[in-house]
């Protein structure tokens, strides 16, 4: 439960370089349900923590060409005492055509205490009582968006110190090295007559695959025909959706803790997972028919999402959504 008391100032117009200033104090009541050996007769109970923090932020805009916002937070007392976070976003826009070209940047720096269940857990197969240090994470991201050409490119960099990961036994460990993650993605959608070709490719590089395993390349392609069967009444889509990622040691899942852990038993990936679909939009109702994993067993039957967790095999699914009332937009 989070309660805040704050002050908001608008020193100038709503569309000004500094258009809004916020500041306040917040109090969090944190409740964690867990079991402890001394509760053998009474069962699990709630562990209550308190947290007091201060925050301040500001934002601004210059017409439709520039916008920014920043937010800082300091946790003063309680479970997260001493935590600090600073975040900022900025957008530059140019309009050689109506939809514009947009360059977005964001940066964040955070020094945070690990969550309560990472510090303490007592279960049937896993138990720990840790005193991990604070995690420091710095993120930088840049996005270029050109809506007219239906293209978006993203580059991101993240640096973590004292990162926490779950080892092959499912136990939390704190890294003693600086971890770096580089991310780049490209989204490009094409349209040729009634044929839509939606594509997204993601590149990820981890400096330590033993602690933060990531596939080098992931991709998603959604190709479909869209056409009108009955004007203003019935629209249809007919196509397929495919996902793919390169081989890597995909995390294993521990039902006991509800966490994913690293594993080195087998690599997963290098196969496409394809769903064929038909979507029908009939006035307010939407009807779909989906044939999942239509390409199985090509190239083989090795369809796993996590270690020992097989993805759904061939199956036919169908359904419908029908909102009986749509709230009209406010003026």
8 Å CB contact between 142 and 103 = yes
End-to-end, the C-alpha distance of the chain in Å comes to 34
Quote the CA–CA distance of 275 and 126 in Å, as a whole number.
Answer: 38
pTM: 0.88
The distance between the two most distant Cα atoms of the chain, rounded to a whole number of Å, is 71
Which element (helix H / strand E) includes 168?
none
8 Å CB contact between 311 and 294 = no
DSSP state at residue 327: P
8 Å CB contact between 158 and 137 = yes
* Residue-by-residue pLDDT tens, the chain, 331 positions: 999 999 999 888 888 999 999 999 999 999 998 888 877 777 788 889 999 999 999 999 999 999 999 999 999 999 999 999 999 999 999 999 999 999 999 999 999 999 999 999 998 899 999 999 999 999 999 999 999 999 999 999 999 999 999 999 999 999 999 999 999 999 999 999 999 999 999 999 999 999 999 999 999 999 999 999 988 889 999 999 999 999 999 999 999 899 999 999 999 999 999 999 999 998 888 999 999 999 888 887 778 889 999 988 899 999 998 887 666 665 5
Q: How far is CA 125 from CA 173, 258, 260, 271, in A?
A: 17, 12, 15, 34
Question: From the centroid of its chain, how far is CA 103?
Answer: 21
And the tokens for 146? 């050109």
Strand 234-245 versus strand 252-254 pairing type? unpaired
């Amino acid at each position: 439960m989070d309660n805040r008391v704050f002050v908001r100032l608008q020193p100038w117009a709503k569309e000004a370089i500094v258009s809004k200033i916020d500041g306040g104090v917040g109090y969090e009541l944190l409740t964690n349900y867990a079991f402890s050996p001394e509760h053998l007769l009474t069962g699990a109970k709630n562990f209550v923590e308190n947290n007091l923090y201060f925050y301040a932020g500001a934002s601004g805009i210059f017409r439709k060409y520039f916008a920014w916002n920043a937010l800082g937070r300091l946790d003063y007392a309680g479970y997260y005492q001493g935590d600090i976070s600073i975040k900022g976003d900025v957008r530059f826009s140019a309009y050689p055509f109506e939809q514009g070209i947009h360059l977005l940047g964001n940066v964040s720096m955070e020094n945070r205490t690990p969550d309560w269940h990472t510090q303490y857990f007592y279960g049937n197969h896993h138990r720990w009582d840790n005193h991990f240090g604070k995690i420091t994470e710095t993120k930088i991201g840049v996005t270029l968006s050109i809506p007219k050409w239906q293209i978006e490119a993203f580059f991101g960099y993240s640096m973590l110190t004292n990162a926490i990961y779950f080892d092959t036994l499912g136990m939390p460990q704190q890294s003693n090295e600086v971890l770096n993650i580089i991310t780049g993605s490209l989204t490009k959608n094409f349209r040729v007559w009634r044929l839509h070709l939606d594509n997204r490719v993601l590149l990820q590089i981890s400096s330590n695959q033993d602690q933060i395993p990531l596939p080098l390349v992931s991709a998603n392609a959604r190709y479909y025909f869209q056409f009108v069967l009955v004007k203003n009444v019935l629209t249809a889509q007919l196509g397929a959706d495919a996902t793919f990622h390169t081989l890597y040691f995909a995390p294993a899942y521990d039902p006991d803790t509800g966490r994913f852990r690293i594993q080195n038993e087998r690599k997963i990936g290098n196969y496409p997972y394809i769903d064929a679909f038909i979507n029908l939009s009939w006035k307010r109702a939407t009807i779909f028919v989906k044939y999942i994993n239509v390409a199985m067993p090509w190239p083989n039957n090795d369809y796993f999402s996590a270690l020992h967790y097989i993805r759904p095999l061939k199956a036919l699914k169908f359904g419908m959504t029908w909102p009986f009332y749509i709230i009209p937009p406010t003026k």
